[in-house]
Amino acid sequence: MQIVCRICRKKTTWEENPYRPFCSERCKMIDLGAWASEDYRIEGKKEEEEDEGELDD
């Protein structure tokens, strides 16, 4: 099965690729760096908002 790398858009084979869903270690590390620098975010309440509710108890 052919897939498209989420970073560079290069086509690669899924079954034989140890870096899937990316095409290479480079693209895998670029994605990890984006998470580490908070370029990607999962929506939700901010920590301060959650902490305020806990103090009311």
Tens digit of each residue's pLDDT, the chain (57 residues): 999 999 999 999 999 899 999 999 999 999 999 999 988 888 888 777 655 666 655
Structural domain boundaries, residue 14: 2-47
Q: Which long-range contacts (CB under 8 A, 24 or more apart) does 2-10 make?
A: 6/31, 7/31
Cα distances (angstroms) measured from residue 44 to each of 12, 32, 41, 47, 49:
34, 20, 9, 9, 10
Residue 40's pLDDT is: 85
Q: Supply the DSSP symbol for 43.
A: -
Which CATH number goes with the domain that contains 33? 3.30.50.10
Count of the separate structural domains present in the chain: 1
Residue 53 counted as domain residue: no
Q: Which of 4, 34, 33, 32 is nearest to 17 (CA)?
A: 4
Residue 26's pLDDT is: 97
